[in-house]
């Protein structure tokens, strides 16, 4: 795996996070990063001023421009951890970068805004809505992304919320987007969105970067039909998304406690909003944690959890991977009490059964249909 990015007069050691679980063929930067760095290379250093960097997956941009003390803004805890890891690998002081989650941004105004185009168009729209009141005629806005992510709809969003937009020619299957902000009355935010959860009195709220923003995803629906007994149990809703599974547990089981965990800041905030707006009296029975799997809380919950519920993702940003599921299973085993249960729903073709059987020493099929399997493994 190539871990050294060399561009112009700088070389950086860059790794994905967590490094020990990554595919050896995957590097921690892409052509879109290289195009952005090249575009700013000729800009006079004093003119850069205050630099905001949005959606920097592994910290390549943040590390390269660290001497400008940039602002990092993103929705992924894993991306933040990757950036912090790569700053350390390159002996860059942590104080040179300030981190903001995707729901917040600084009060001051940037001179440059660098955007990696996210896979989720709604997240980009939220970020452009956020930038409306922060940019002015002198702000330089440059975005980059893979060619397939830069569609007419992408450019329309830039023009709608900021101003005239054009693109560069494609290079290495990536291209740049140049946007010239123009003064106008900011358009109102369209997030969070909301929709009624069929068969319940609940209204579900979703921030922009949350999976299944407009309806219950079919995997979660299947798991809700086969929910384990949670009465009196301490439960982790791992990869909670908007928190529908945990919310259902709180509704059905008066003595259950739920820890909502996700690596997306917007997901955890959506889960918090959904409990607060639908079952406010149960907030005392909840915790909300932004974490890479259970990494940020495993020491505090080790061997104390009765049940972990999980619908493991097999994508990270634009990559297909099973390392997230494997880390979730291992972290769950560490968190569970002896006799505690991990219950997952997953696509049948992913063959989680063998992984769980190997890790826990046994696994059983709870239910299955043409698309999904629900599996249960108990800690011995």
Q: What is the pLDDT of residues 199-227, one digit of tens each?
A: 899 999 999 999 877 788 899 999 999 99
Is the pLDDT higher at 24 or at 247?
247
Residue range 363-370: mean pLDDT, rounded: 95
What's the pLDDT tens digit per position in 295-308? Answer: 999 899 999 999 99
Query: Is pLDDT at 331 greater than 80 in this prediction?
Result: yes
Q: What is the pLDDT of residue 321?
A: 54
Alpha-carbon distance of 204 to 271, in angstroms, equals: 9
Classify residue 353 by burial, with Cβ atoms within 10 Å: 0-12, 13-18, 19+: middle
Residue range 264-280: mean pLDDT, rounded: 98
Query: Is pLDDT at 43 greater than 60 in this prediction?
Result: yes
Structure tokens at 298: 């495993």
Q: Please answer whether residues 211 and 223 qualify as being in contact, where contact means their C-beta atoms are separated by less than 8 angstroms.
A: no
CA distances from 84 to 17, 38, 62, 92 (A): 10, 23, 10, 9
Structure tokens at 227: 């929910």
User: How would residue 6 be classed by pLDDT, with cut points 50, 70 and 90?
Assistant: very high
Q: Please answer whether residues 93 and 72 qualify as being in contact, where contact means their C-beta atoms are separated by less than 8 angstroms.
A: no
Backbone torsion region of residue 59, taken as left when φ is above 0, otherwise alpha when ψ lies between -120 and 50, otherwise beta = left
Look over the chain and give the mean of its residue pLDDT values, rounded to a whole number.
Answer: 93
How would you label 32-63 residue by residue, b for 16+ Cβ within 10 Å and e otherwise? bbbbbbebbeeeeeeebebbbbbbbbbbbbbb
Alpha-carbon distance of 68 to 5, in angstroms, equals: 19
Q: What is the pLDDT of residue 317?
A: 47
């Amino acid at each position: 795996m190539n871990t050294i990015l060399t561009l112009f007069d700088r070389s950086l050691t860059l790794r994905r996070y967590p490094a020990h679980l990554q595919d050896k063929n995957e590097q921690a930067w892409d052509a879109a990063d290289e195009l952005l760095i090249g575009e700013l290379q000729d800009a006079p250093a004093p003119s850069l001023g205050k630099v905001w960097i949005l959606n920097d997956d592994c910290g390549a941009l943040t590390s390269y421009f660290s001497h400008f003390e940039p602002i990092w803004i993103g929705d992924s805890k894993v991306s933040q951890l990757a950036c912090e890891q790569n700053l350390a690998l390159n002996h860059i002081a942590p104080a040179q970068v300030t981190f903001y989650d995707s729901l917040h941004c600084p009060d001051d105004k940037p001179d440059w805004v660098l955007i990696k185009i996210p896979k989720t168009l709604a997240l980009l729209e939220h970020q452009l809505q956020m930038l409306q009141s922060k940019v002015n005629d002198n702000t330089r806005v440059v975005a980059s992304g893979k060619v397939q992510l830069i569609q007419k709809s992408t450019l329309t969003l830039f023009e709608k919320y900021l101003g005239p937009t054009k693109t560069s020619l494609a290079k290495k299957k990536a291209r740049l987007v140049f946007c010239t902000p123009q003064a106008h009355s900011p358009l109102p935010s369209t997030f969070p969105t909301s929709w009624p959860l069929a068969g319940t009195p609940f209204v579900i709220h979703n921030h922009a970067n949350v999976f299944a923003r407009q309806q219950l995803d079919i995997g979660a629906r299947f798991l809700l039909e086969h929910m384990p007994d949670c009465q009196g149990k301490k439960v982790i809703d791992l990869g909670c998304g908007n928190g529908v599974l945990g919310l259902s547990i709180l509704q059905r089981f008066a003595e259950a406690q739920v820890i909502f965990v996700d690596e997306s800041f917007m997901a955890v905030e959506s889960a918090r909003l959904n409990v607060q707006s639908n079952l406010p009296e149960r907030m005392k029975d909840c915790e909300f944690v932004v974490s890479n799997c259970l990494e940020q809380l495993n020491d505090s919950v080790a061997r104390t959890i009765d049940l972990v519920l999980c619908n493991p993702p097999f994508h990270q940003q634009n990559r297909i991977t099973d390392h997230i599921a494997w880390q979730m299973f291992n972290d769950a085993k560490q968190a569970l009490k002896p006799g505690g249960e991990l219950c997952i729903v997953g696509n049948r073709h992913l063959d989680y059964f063998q992984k769980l059987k190997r890790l826990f020493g046994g696994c059983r099929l709870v239910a299955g249909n043409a698309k999904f399997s629900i599996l249960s493994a108990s800690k011995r």
